[in-house]
Structure 1
Amino acid sequence: MQLKSMLSAIILALSLTACSTVDKIVYRIDVPQGNYLEAATVKQLEVGMSAEQVQYLLGTPVLIEPFDHSKWYYVYLQQKAYQKPEQYTLIVNFDQKGKVASFDLDKPLPDESKPAINNAVIHAEKTAPKSWWKFWQ
């Protein structure tokens, strides 16, 4: 008799956990990979800059064309929690003199100066200090 009740309790527990509709229980961190590209630094990139200036501004590229060193790739991959990953690719082309001839960003970068939607500002209520004999209020 006790075996039947134990077995029914196990089956009930397994069936309840199998039909759970709770999604996204495990916390996932934001994972940035590659060259961190900011909209403000990409706006500073100009035609005519030297390779050293570009590397100082944006960092070392993820990929340099192996046979033609005049093309640099900056790849930034951002995955926030359970959202789809977003990839941004900046291609910098240099001329024969080593100056920036052109650059192309595949899609606009998010502006980080704007506050995110989920960032809430919490203000504590300022209250007067209570007297020690009015602790029940």
Structure 2
Amino acid sequence: MKLLKLPCISLLMVIALSACAYRIDIRQGNYIEQKDVAKLRQNMSKEQVAFVLGNPVIDDSFNSDTWYYLYHVNYGDGREPRRIELTLQFENNQLQDMVGSIEKPENFTDPIDQ
């Protein structure tokens, strides 16, 4: 009878400890912050945009003038997942417009040198 109790206790301890395991946050894509997006200006070159935000996570094979930045995080502590999307539209290698879950900067249309 004592031999049967030991495996049961061990199994219960393993189950109890696994319920307390720490779960890490799972992050995917380009980490985008409002402070970085605030640096974007209309007519910036693709190289300048890549310097500020990094290369886009999705490369559109059919339209090289559209860049997609996506960031998704699943929190290990049970919070709601977070998703940030940003789409940049270029024309003649210059940034023309941006849309997404991050607001366009108020000074987006101001010249770069100001």
- TM-score (norm. length: structure 1): 0.59
Determine the C-alpha separation between the residues in 1 that align with 2:63 and 2:11. 60
Deviation at 1:32, TM superposition (A): 2.4
What pairs up with 1:111-126 in 2 under 5 angstroms? none
Moved more, 24-33 or 11-20: 11-20
Equivalent residue number for residue 26 of structure 2: 31
Identity %: 29
Give the gaps of 5 or more residues in structure 1.
Answer: 109-137
Determine the C-alpha separation between the residues in 1 that align with 2:97 and 2:47. 16
Q: Does 1:56 align with 2:51?
A: yes
Equivalent residue number for residue 44 of structure 1: 39
Equivalent residue number for residue 73 of structure 1: 68
Pick one of 92, 101, 107 that aligns with 1:106.
101
- TM-score (norm. length: structure 2): 0.69
Supply the RMSD in Å over aligned alpha carbons: 2.8
Give the gaps of 5 or more residues in structure 2.
Answer: 104-114
Deviation at 1:76, TM superposition (A): 1.1
Do the aligned partners of 2:34 and 2:102 also contact (CA within 8 Å) in 1? no
Q: Does 1:90 align with 2:86?
A: yes
Determine the C-alpha separation between the residues in 2 that align with 1:25 and 1:54. 43
Deviation at 1:106, TM superposition (A): 2.5
Determine the C-alpha separation between the residues in 1 that align with 2:14 and 2:25. 28
